[in-house]
Amino acid sequence: TPGNSDVYVLLLTKNLYGLRQAGNNWFDKLRDSLLARGFRQSSIDPCLFVRKDLILVVYVDDCLIFARADTTLDDFVTSLRSDFNLTCEGDVGAFLGIQFTRTSTGQMQMTQPGLISKIIKECGLDSESKRHDTPAVTKLLQKDSSGPQREHQWSYRTLIGMLTYLSMSSRPDIAFAVHQCARYSTCPMRIHEIAVRRICRYLQATTDKGYILHPRNTLRNLDCYVDADFAGMWNEEITDEPSSVKSRTGYVILFANCPVLWVSKLQTEIALSTTEAEYIALSQAMRDLIPMRTLLTELATLTNFTFGDTITHSTVFEDNKGCVELANAPRLHPRTRHIGIKYHHFRSHVARGEIKVQW
């Protein structure tokens, strides 16, 4: 109170929902409970917990649990009920808005029809809207500062957020188109609005489509395909735009012949040659590939999975011979000092034979 010099600090004995630290306190409680039951937290992904007979993945307060035997799952859930008030959904049919459907041939299809319908509604399209068979035109998006303003009132940022989640979860086919539109979220113009609506019309025509998992036991290596588009946006119309000379990185990492990570984004610095652009893309892909190798090693060790030669080496396929030569020949590195250690970090893995870079 005014005039009172005493200061009181209250110590909460129970966490209150809505506080800034609430999420962290919740995760600490869940982690301690899992560790007490013999789980080990992954050094790569803190939301992954592994035991010799169980794998558990956490997303806020939703969990996916994997085991070879139903009795193992039932015993674990029963044990967890002593600490948490939980709901068991049975076999996974949906998770975080993603629908899982197993086909008659043993494939697993991941679709998000609910999110796609929400995106189409948010964009203001109806059932009679024109459909497209591709998510983008061949001409790349530009800044278009002097072009016409937007015509519609829907939230550009909100729609880009939903499209980004969709492209990362079950629709890699729209990843490039979405990233192009996301670059102009600060001040979108009419041209960018049209590009977003094209993606939505493409989704209208492919609402029931999604990512299909079809693992092959004969292909157990963790491999990567990487490419770069050297200064792909540079042309006569936008030569004065700094971002037009940046190259684009694209790569996909596969395990058991199934894509598990895909990326399409602009490089942060300007490459001076095709080889340099390809090498930067290669290095960026390695930042995901190397931790993923460690993650598989953890799973193989703790779950007794028979991965065969999975961890022996990973193969990275690169279509630029100068880049392949640079990655495999240390004697050339002094000639590329301007690239810097930032992009040479994976050399020791190549030297030890853990990663093979080939054309």
What letters, b where the CB count within 10 A reaches 16 and e where it falls short, cover 99-108?
bbeeeeeeeb
Taking residues 75-100, what's their average pLDDT? 89
Answer yes or no: is pLDDT of 314 > 70.
yes
| 156-169 and 175-182 helices, crossing angle to 10° | 150
pLDDT band, residue 63 (cuts 50/70/90): very high
Answer yes or no: is pLDDT of 196 > 90.
yes
Pairing of strands 108-111, 62-66: unpaired
Helix (H) or strand (E) holding 314: strand 314-318
Please tell me which residue, 46 or 145, carries the higher pLDDT value: 46
Answer yes or no: is pLDDT of 36 > 80.
yes
Spatial CB neighbours of 274, under 8 Å, sequence gap ≥ 6 = 228, 230, 320, 322
- Residue 281: the pLDDT is 93
Taking residues 164-181, what's their average pLDDT? 94
Q: Chain-wide mean pLDDT for the chain?
A: 85
Residue 199 identity (one-letter amino acid): I
pTM of the model: 0.82
Distance of CA 193 to the CA centre of its chain: 25
Pairing of strands 355-358, 248-255: unpaired
Answer yes or no: is pLDDT of 111 > 80.
yes
- Residue 91: the pLDDT is 83
Q: pLDDT tens digit string along 289-301?
A: 999 988 888 887 6
Distance of CA 300 to the CA centre of its chain: 22
pLDDT band, residue 257 (cuts 50/70/90): confident
Answer yes or no: is pLDDT of 188 > 80.
yes
- Residue 341: the pLDDT is 66
Query: 337 vs 2, 285, 341, CA distance in Å?
Result: 64, 20, 8
Pairing of strands 48-51, 40-41: antiparallel
Pairing of strands 94-95, 62-66: unpaired
Pairing of strands 222-229, 248-255: antiparallel
Answer yes or no: is pLDDT of 258 > 80.
yes
- Residue 204: the pLDDT is 93
Q: What are phi and psi of 263, to 5 degrees?
A: -140, 140
Euclidean distance between CA atoms 180 and 256, whole angstroms: 30
Taking residues 348-352, what's their average pLDDT? 82
DSSP state of 32: H
Euclidean distance between CA atoms 243 and 95, whole angstroms: 37
Closest to 69 in 3D by CA, of 53, 93, 47: 53
- Residue 118: the pLDDT is 94
Q: Are 221 and 309 in contact (CB under 8 A)?
A: yes
Supply 10's token pair. 């209250």
Burial class, 197, CB count within 10 angstroms (exposed 0-12 / middle 13-18 / buried 19+): buried
Closest to 30 in 3D by CA, of 59, 4, 5: 59
Answer yes or no: is pLDDT of 135 > 80.
yes
Task: Please report, rounded to a whole number, the percentage of residues in the chain having pLDDT higher than 90.
Answer: 44
- Residue 2: the pLDDT is 63
Supply 300's token pair. 């193989």
- Residue 14: the pLDDT is 77
Sign of torsion over alpha carbons 68, 74, 79, 83 = positive
Length of the chain: 359
pLDDT band, residue 356 (cuts 50/70/90): confident
CA-angle at 231, arms to 227 and 232, nearest 5°: 75
Supply 142's token pair. 């530009």
Residue 76 identity (one-letter amino acid): F
Taking residues 274-292, what's their average pLDDT? 92
User: What would you measure as the largest C-alpha separation in the chain, in angstroms?
Assistant: 78
Euclidean distance between CA atoms 35 and 28, whole angstroms: 10
Q: pLDDT tens digit string along 139-172?
A: 888 888 888 999 988 999 999 999 999 999 999 9
Most confident segment among 53-57, 303-307, 338-342: 53-57
Taking residues 98-125, what's their average pLDDT? 91
| Share of the chain residues as helix, strand and coil, in percent rounded to the nearest 5 | 40, 20, 45
